[in-house]
Chains A and B, each alone.
Chain A
């Protein structure tokens, strides 16, 4: 009996993982009846809620933060000065990438949220750094398409997605 329950639980687990990922891949609507609300908790506890479609179907834009400190001898900080560890920086980059999904037209509603986060980050920095004003830019690197032999080679360029200046 216990073996049957275990096997049934495993089957449900695999079905849930498959359904969740199929929904992400084929962009299906996420509408579960109220009664299945516990399924979300289960997905979280079992680590299924992140989805497994890493870098699929294509690799998105990598978003970075850049601070420009305006005072005597302007300084540009290409990384977040308040985060010290490599793993902390990686987590911040992941957050910026997620928060900047607004560049995808289907998720433009995230734009306000991204702006609010940048304002919050810049506001916090201005409290601990002496500067007349601080500009925070959300930038991305434009990677040109692969070229065949003989074709002209284009170099990568940085694009400013959003800029916030704190006086």
Chain B
């Protein structure tokens, strides 16, 4: 990789946060038509079923709205107000306006929507919360003037460590059973996607047992071997590219587009993948800190550049 294309430590977390803001805003925008039905005054699930997945002694968007007076404005409900606020915070984070406030707002709203009550949550929501939390903690230290180069390096190290833990346990969870080793799990995962897949694998592909065994083992090795990304050089590029391709496969064949985009973005930022500089050039440039330049006195016509220099004048 070109040296000029390497991210400095203090830009990793801000870039990650900006992309995360955009992804969360897009996901909420996609959920907009169903906000009323899932979270609002729509009669989709009864209160008992919703409260069953409420974390004890916490405030969620469901409990918050239940305590607000019933109010609608041209078919818009309270939930649309909170949804709009979520999108605004996401976009503010993306455009890097009021970074700390936007991140704090997004953490609180994301927690209210998807964490405090997990009825309508899935894995991507927790990973997004982790990204927001890491970003906010580093942002707090930064805004207090503490996040100079050493602090920034510590923040990006924590982010990388967090991802290593995520992938290691994802791999360990799979490795303790036999189904990821014999291809069964890979085949089942592709045959029953959680969301409509963009690429459907025909059932006749069941006979390609070797392929599914190979892909299952490759997934395990990539996740368990994620820690090798700490080694700089070609190993890092090969493994991070493998992880990115794995998530691309998940997006296409299992329909988990938001989850895949989130994880691809985290990996691009954490390990400074060359692809990041292709797709996020406009947001990287303004964030990069300018290196101190060497001050050289400009040469003048009077300067004697002959051997001995200005010594002649001193004489």
Contact = CB atoms under 8 A, between A and B. Distances in A.
Interface of A: 2-3, 6-7, 10, 13-14, 17-18, 21-22, 24-25, 40-41, 44-59, 61-62, 82-95, 97-98, 113, 116-117, 120-121, 124, 127, 141, 143-149, 153, 155-156
B207 A94 contact: no
B130 A46 contact: yes
A155 B203 contact: yes
A47 B207 contact: no
A155 B203 CA distance: 8
Contacts of B161: 10, 14
Interface of B: 27, 30-34, 37-38, 42-46, 48-49, 52-53, 55, 58, 107, 111, 115-116, 118-123, 125-133, 141, 146, 150-151, 154, 158, 161-162, 165-167, 169-170, 172-177, 179-180, 182-185, 187-189, 191-196, 203-204, 206-207, 209, 212, 255-256, 258
Contact of B129 (A46, A58, A94, A117): A46
A97 to B, nearest CB: 7
Nearest to B48: A116
Contacts of A41: 58
A10 B204 CA distance: 49
B185 A85 contact: no
B120 A91 contact: yes
A41 to B, nearest CB: 8
Contacts, number: 214
A91 B118 CA distance: 10
B271 to A, nearest CB: 18
A94 to B, nearest CB: 4
A85 B173 contact: no
A21 B173 contact: yes
B206 A147 contact: yes
B176 A25 contact: yes
Q: Which one of A17, A44, A52 has the greatest number of beta carbons of chain B within 10 Å?
A: A52
B37 A82 contact: yes
B170 A56 contact: yes
Contact of B188 (A18, A57, A59, A91): A59
A56 B195 contact: no
B207 A147 contact: yes
Nearest to A25: B173
A81 to B, nearest CB: 11
Given A85-B30, A95-B119, A98-B53, 5 more contacts: A24-B173, A57-B176, A59-B189, A124-B44, A143-B188
A1 B117 CA distance: 37
A98 B191 CA distance: 19
A6 to B, nearest CB: 7
B207 A117 contact: no
A17 B165 contact: yes
Contacts of B151: 3, 6
Nearest to B144: A2
Contact of B27 (A22, A56, A87, A153): A87
A48 B177 contact: no
Q: Which one of A40, A57, A88, A90 has the greatest number of beta carbons of chain B within 10 Å?
A: A90
B133 A45 contact: yes
A6 B153 CA distance: 12
Nearest to B257: A86
B111 A45 contact: yes
Q: Which one of A22, A145, A146, A149 has the greatest number of beta carbons of chain B within 10 Å?
A: A146
A59 B216 CA distance: 12
